[in-house]
Amino acid sequence: MTLSKGNLFEPQLVSDLITKVEGKSSLALLSKQAPIPFNGQKEFTFTMDSDIDIVAENGKKSHGGVSLAPMTIVPIKVEYGARVSDEFMYAADEEKIDILKSFNDGYAKKLARGLDLMVFHGINPRTKEASTVIGDNNFDKKVTQTVDFTKGNPDTNIETGVSLIQGAEGSISGMAMDPAFSAELAQMRTADDNNVRLFPELAWGANPGSINGLQTDINNTVSGGTDDLAILGDFANSFKWGYTKQIPLEVIRYGDPDNSGNDLKGYNQVYLRSETYLGWGIMDANSFARIVKPAEA
């Protein structure tokens, strides 16, 4: 199989791609992202163990203590490819750009969904199976503070999760919810005769962006085939993700690059393939809690 030279997406296409990812991924929406070096980068969680100390005049100063926990964020490679007619190779530049924009749009959606599935659940987005490459670097494995979902009163579940996080001296900046959980919240009404919706902003499947002043996002990647219904915590400071700046795009003219059994030349096709290196780190698992379906008896 002969590969054509891999070209890089133009900077404006990369910017557009990441913007679309941030609009489709709950994690990208709720947390900070920064470019990750290809070889990874080391992050440090710096914790002062004590409070400040009052010192009297001529008084003795004491040791406060400090903890420094390193974490290395190493990007992993993800890819997506698609066959298109070989007329792409002969099309005018304007038409090629339109095809690449369409590919960019589709790839952004898959990249956004894949980011959530990998980070929330540690699975390979395509196979839906646990990834040995990701290992334990995911919320399902690292976040052990869980709340069993109780039908009819999901608001109490959220309050319990908040108590767990605050009890561990953490803070809450956002929450990602599965549509099934947001639907339960939307059905909650006052107990009086007025029967008023408690969360009218969630009616009819709406995704308002915030509830009670808390940034939120509704996405089926939160469950992803698992028992998770909602994940809340300090996405702003205790979780980081990023990508390498260079995103290559290959135009493959020959062979069977997707192992479909169909030769590209034999079917008058070319293959577009893009690769991205994504890295992430959960800096403090105690700053998060998961609301999950209760285990069957």
| Average confidence (pLDDT) over 82-91 | 80
> Would you list the DSSP string of 214-239?
EEEEE-TTTTTTSSEEEEEE-TTTSE
**Contacts of 161-169 spanning 24+ positions with Cβ under 8 A:** 161/230, 161/232, 161/289, 161/290, 161/291, 162/232, 162/289, 164/289, 165/232, 165/233, 165/234, 165/286, 165/287, 165/288, 165/289, 168/286, 168/287, 169/286
| Average confidence (pLDDT) over 83-89 | 81
Q: What is the pLDDT of the chain when averaged over all its residues?
A: 84
Burial tier of 121 (Cβ tally within 10 Å: 0-12, 13-18, 19+):
buried
> Would you list the DSSP string of 104-134?
HHHHHHHHHHHHHHHHHH-B-TTT-SB-TTT
Where do the domains of the chain lie, and which CATH numbers do they carry? Answer: 7-39+72-292 (3.90.1690)
Q: Which pTM was predicted?
A: 0.83
Taking the alpha carbons at both ends of the chain, their separation in whole angstroms is: 54
Tell me what percent of the residues of the chain surpass a pLDDT of 90.
47
Looking at residue 273, its pLDDT comes to 86
Looking at residue 48, its pLDDT comes to 61
Rounded to 10 degrees, the C-alpha dihedral 230/24/236/238 comes to 60
Looking at residue 108, its pLDDT comes to 86
Residue 1 has pLDDT above 80, yes or no: no
Looking at residue 52, its pLDDT comes to 67
Q: What Rg do the C-alpha atoms of the chain give, in angstroms?
A: 23
| Average confidence (pLDDT) over 279-291 | 94
Residue 288 has pLDDT above 70, yes or no: yes
Beta carbons of 272 and 110 less than 8 angstroms apart: no
Looking at residue 293, its pLDDT comes to 94
Tell me what percent of the residues of the chain surpass a pLDDT of 70.
80
Greater confidence, 24 or 92?
24
Looking at residue 143, its pLDDT comes to 97
pLDDT band at 102 (very low <50, low <70, confident <90, very high): confident
